[in-house]
Amino acid sequence: MTVSTSRILIVGGGFAGVWAALAAARQRDESGSSLDIVLISKDDQLTIRPRLYQKNPAGLRTPLRATLEPAGVTLICATIDAIDAQERRVTFTKPGGENDAMMFDRLVLATGSETAMPPIEGLAEHGWTVNSHDDALAFDAHLKRIAALPADAGTQSYVIIGAGMTGIEMATELRGRIAEYGGAHRAAAAKILLIERGGEIGPDLGPGPRPVIAEALADADVEVRLNTHLTQVDATGVTLSTGTHIEAKTVIVATGLRASALCAALGQPLDALGRLEVDEMLRVKGLNGVFAAGDVARAYADDEHLALMSCQHAMPMGKCAGHNAARDLCGVDMQPYRQPTYATCIDLGESGAVYTTGWERTIEKTGAEAKALKTQINEQWIYPPTGSRKDVLANAGIAL
């Protein structure tokens, strides 16, 4: 392999970005090259996003430097202003307001996703989400404020829009979070309403785990309304497609995700979720030297299934993109992204969890056994490695 002093620039400090940086660093060590690897993130923390439905969101972060510095990756905290893929230049603004720019030889875009806010009147002003650390903190503060108000129809009603994985996990966890600030009596009296536009709970989760989920929602005293959507949201509550108005001061949006708006900065076609088209090496189609990973990439995990917007797919995609960016600079063969194994583990609050395998979602574990696995996934497996250089790079390779 040729020795290089080229730069790999990774934009985004989430799961895909971190693992792209580690994989590139491992490939640099293995090749003996002198690659400059830089990661730009809006701050110096990785948010453990799959846990943001849980209580204490302030503690659901981990320092990026503890992972990146041992690997010899430079971290820059900044907000991206523009990406010029043709000139291979990224401009950004640091926290103090200083504007700067950086050239790259290979770029890995890994800026994640944001809430796909439905175009419902008043929802953006009065709805809450938990898809970012700031949003989760704001929602937690809201729950605390609501608990301090006199109990009435508005303060005791909680409306969740979207019965996908996030909506289900929030619905089954919410009563416990209400109790945290308002006590057991207030939590028991709360009315939790889960609204789904489609005709089934968990429309994207398949029929396999649906009976277990339905039972857990019933046990959690969550009212489910299917084939229903909102037409308006205001400070007093929500209006349903049936014409019914429900007083509620808490409306939670769990209607899915859309890729980061930075995807559009590359000037290439986007899919319906705002993702960039990539080839099997995770190179952005139509651009030279630009890779994409995680929620911003429309990539096939196998011959049939597209990777989902989840850390389960983001981490291996990040590894592959970082690995390939480094190998591309060294002039050696790259490795196609493939992730044929798929599993789903859904937290069901006091009912435990449900764990399925395969895209057909065959149930493997339920109840306490599945809950133990979910806890292990959320609190151990998805956290980035720390320690020595050897420790942080140990699992940063990909199968060849």
Per-residue b or e along 266-291, where b marks 16 or more CB atoms closer than 10 Å to that residue's CB: bebebeebbbbbbeebbbbeebebbb
Q: Which domains does the chain have, with CATH numbers?
A: 7-115+257-340 (3.50.50.60), 123-253 (3.50.50.60)
pLDDT reported for residue 2 = 38
Distance in Å from the first CA to the final CA of the chain:
17
pLDDT reported for residue 399 = 57
Instruction: Share the mean pLDDT of the chain.
Output: 96
Query: What number of other Cβ atoms are within 10 A of residue 244's Cβ?
Result: 10
363 SS3 class? strand
CA separation for the pair 151, 129 (Å, rounded) = 23
Q: What is the pLDDT of residues 255-299, one digit of tens each?
A: 999 999 999 999 999 999 999 999 999 999 999 999 999 999 999
Question: Which positions of the chain have pLDDT values less than 50?
Answer: 1-4, 400
pLDDT reported for residue 5 = 77
